A and B are shown apart, each in its own frame.
Chain A
Amino acid sequence: MKETSLYLWHHRGGRVGVLLLLAMVFVAVFAPLIAPYEPNAQISGSELQGMSLTHWFGTDFLGRDILSRTIYGARVSLFAGALAVILGAALGIFMGITAGYMGGWVDSTMMRLSDAISAFPAILLGAAIVAVLGPGFVQVAIAIAIAQSPLFARLARALAISEARLEYIEAAESMGASKASIILRHILPNAAGPLAVQASLSVGIAILLEAGLSFLGLGVQPPTPSWGQMLADSLRFIDFIPAYAIFPGLALTVVLVGVNLLADAMRDRVDPQHQNLGGGE
């Protein structure tokens, strides 16, 4: 763990990613201290203003401060992204490892199921699930988690299969280790690296999906501020006040840049090519 953190910190992109994400998490956690206004305070008479000293990013159609709403929007985005990936990874890894190691009908069932999930366009599947569960923070996270689970299932299965082919697994079986203990003691720890990379990539996808669902009005409901919803609102007034559309999207992009840089750095860490610099003859 410590070595990995050090590696990420010394990785060129990794450090930028870590700093961007830490900054965003800080903003989300301390939003009440940082934001100049209450996110839902409607200041009458100052609707749809451009950028100014009192409202750095301007105000929206209800006279709410866009800067404050952008700051609060980080909460929904980051927490929904994280929750969705935790749930999706748990579901997918369980499916994948079981399928890969057990093989047979368990494998085919799990894999056809995951094929079925991934055959849907992710955002429409998310939208349909939200339609069933109702709008809301947790519901959105669950919808995204389900849509993401096949990614984890497929990767975990491939890792389990390639790991199970290694001779030390046979050695463990020959000692009388049970399947469950082999999965827990050998396969999972060795698959952890690539799965962590996938998880970090998935955080980006999940944040993007959350923003997309909010943009379509199927995410967190107003008045809770979310970036997707702000972007949707901004489209209506794009001719008068373009700044409205810029800042929530920029915030979203910064988070995604941070997540992807971190994911790239983690991949460099895990990629076996970086571990075999030796080169023979």
Chain B
Amino acid sequence: MRQSGAAMLKYVFGRVVQAFIVVVIVSVVVFLLMHLVPGDVVTVLAGPDPEPAVVAALRAKLGLDDPLPVQYFRWAFAALQGDLGTSPYIGRPVTELIARRLPATLELAIAAIIIASVFGILVGVIAALRQGSWVDTLITTANSFILSIPNFWFGIVGIIVFAVWLGWLPSGGRKLFSDDPIKAMQYLLLPAIALALDSIAMIARLVRASVLDELSRDYVTVARAKGVQASRLMRLHISRNAAIPVLTVLGLRFGQMLGGAVLIESVFNWPGLGRLTIEAIRSRDIVLVQGTLMYFVIIYMAINLLIDLSYGWFNPRIRASTGGAV
């Protein structure tokens, strides 16, 4: 077992190194991309018709006259120490701005991923167990249609129905759970469902496919030949093996929700990180854009890494992929 422990360590180490390389590439891409954006900070900060001397002083102060590599390493080393710079427009450190918006984004993403996994897994398992029946056909068809509905438009329709016509739910904004849990739930409900919508369909589809895939495997026939009945088969044999692809996609979806909820946030005036980034892009706040993009990528990579490592728990083969069999 010592040998497989070492193999596991090697695997973890390999994955971490790989993730780190990707983050480095991303940081270079982000940095270069942002330096290609026309019109830099100075032209905005110095106001219209600035004095050349003022511009020069500003450029020197912000270090914009240094060669690009120097600027990159200054930024990257600061970032490594947790300093993503200070937004010249808002005048606050980027980390502080991110920290202020993070709870809203997390709250929305967690609510959405819970909705997506509960409904997605439930519906997918039902479809797989009733394969070929009208229930399966209904679920499969509904999935195709749901996957075609743009979730931000679904959010808008939700506002029209539940806020404008029925008046049951607010049309946007956020309330804190610590202030008023019920109000907070009301504000959270529509955006979370809208954000979860396509994930529900996608998870359901995947669960169905991966349960059916497992059902067709030899070990399932073998288990049935041992006298194992359907419920035990599902519970003890299939669930764990079918969980692997589902877990992967759930993790990736969560990572995307943390960064890609821009549209839902915009529709519902949700004060999250996505909107912060879009506002920063609109106002050409390069420091802030760099910071938030890096933040998203690192979170996404971290989640990816966690998923990969959790395979070891679900799939004993990976725990000792290099250990020989005897």
* Binding partners A and B: yes
A127 surroundings in chain B (CB, below 8 A): 262, 277-278, 281
Most chain B CB atoms below 10 A, which of A119, A122, A204, A231: A119
Number of chain A residues whose Cβ lies closer than 8 Å to a Cβ of chain B: 44
- A-B CB pair tally, cutoff 8 Å: 128
Interface string of A135-149 (1 = CB under 8 A from B): 000000000000000
A260:B274 contact, CB within 8 angstroms: no
B287 surroundings in chain A (CB, below 8 A): none
Give bound CA distance, A115 to B148, whole Å. Answer: 26
A216 within 8 A of B: yes
Q: Report the minimum CB–CB distance from A108 to chain B (whole Å).
A: 9
B144 surroundings in chain A (CB, below 8 A): 13, 257, 260-261, 264
B36:A211 contact, CB within 8 angstroms: no
Q: Report the minimum CB–CB distance from A223 to chain B (whole Å).
A: 19
A238 surroundings in chain B (CB, below 8 A): 156, 159-160, 164, 171
A119 surroundings in chain B (CB, below 8 A): 22-23, 26, 297, 300-301
Q: Which residue of B lies closest to A249 (CB)?
A: B153
Q: Which residue of A lies closest to B21 (CB)?
A: A112
Number of chain B residues whose Cβ lies closer than 8 Å to a Cβ of chain A: 47
B160:A245 contact, CB within 8 angstroms: yes
A112:B150 contact, CB within 8 angstroms: no
Q: Report the minimum CB–CB distance from B30 to chain A (whole Å).
A: 8
A256:B148 contact, CB within 8 angstroms: yes
Q: Which residue of B lies closest to A127 (CB)?
A: B281
B149 within 8 A of A: yes
User: Which residues of A (190-225) have their CB < 8 Å from a CB of B?
Assistant: 204, 208, 211-212, 215-218
A253 within 8 A of B: yes
B189 within 8 A of A: no
Q: Would A124 and B150 be within 8 Å (CB), given that A112-B25, A119-B26, A218-B281 are in contact? A: no
Most chain A CB atoms below 10 A, which of B29, B150, B260, B297: B150
The 9 closest A-B CB pairs, nearest first, are A249-B153, A121-B259, A121-B260, A256-B148, A116-B25, A257-B148, A242-B160, A119-B297, A115-B22
Q: A218-B281, A260-B144, A260-B147 are in contact. List 14 more A-B contacts (CB 8 A).
A: A113-B25, A119-B301, A120-B296, A127-B281, A128-B289, A211-B150, A212-B152, A215-B266, A216-B278, A217-B282, A246-B160, A253-B148, A253-B149, A260-B148
